[in-house]
Amino acid sequence: MTQKSIVILISGSGTNLQAIIDAVKQGQINAGITAVISNRADARGLQRAQREHINTAVIDQNAYPERIAYDEALIAEIDKYNPDLVVLAGFMRILSGKFISHYRNAILNIHPSLLPEFKGLHTHRRVLETSNQVHGASVHFVNNELDSGPVVIQAQVPVLPGDTEETLRGRVLQQEHIIYPMAIEWFIEGRLQINDNEVLLDNKVLHRPVLWKENQLTFSQQH
């Protein structure tokens, strides 16, 4: 049986990329990372991939003034590897409908909030500006609306007195490194699927995301 292929898109330091690399090396994810692609040549995550002898490429966003032209170049590079799954790991670009349609139902993203709350940027700062006592991260399928695709799994962390953006970001990031490989593992094993806008795990509709809290998973298939 041919090993399944993952292509990962990054823009920055690549800590989630590293968590996925580690999960592959440890056998948690039974797939190969066939390429890591960045929109920025200075993304430090590229060095993480190169150390593991993973193919890397840079599709420089500055070379493509139009979004659709950029996405066409990105598709051409990704398609060299015929991936089963495209993983966005801190990829700081909004993807076009053409890109999302091309990899329909096979793009995962991680977002540092408990979606649908706090879509977009600066989530930790925005949480601290509220009275919220809980924050977290969400893994979701990508659709045509920013940070709005069906959510697979979420991790919760408490917002503590005296928290800063940095301390809160650090605790959320620790949880991201747990739940993202988990969701990828489920997809690669065929346990996780999406049908229209419904997420199925083990052939059961997830009416609410799986919750990772205090090192335990909580599943809810009920309305």
Just list the catalytic residues.
111
DSSP annotation of 191 reads -
Cα 204 to Cα 10, 41, 161, 198, distances in angstroms? 31, 42, 39, 10
Would you state the structure tokens that stand for residue 74, as one six-digit string? 């990105």
Instruction: Find where tokens 């032209």 sit.
Output: 69
Q: What is the full DSSP assignment across 16-73?
A: HHHHHHHHHHTTSS-EEEEEEEES-TT-THHHHHHHTT--EEE--GGG-SSHHHHHHH
DSSP annotation of 11 reads S
Question: What are the two backbone dihedrals, phi and then psi, of residue 87, each rounded to the nearest 5 degrees?
Answer: -115, 125
Instruction: Find where tokens 């999406």 sit.
Output: 194
Q: Is 180 helix (H, G, I), strand (E, B) or coil?
A: helix
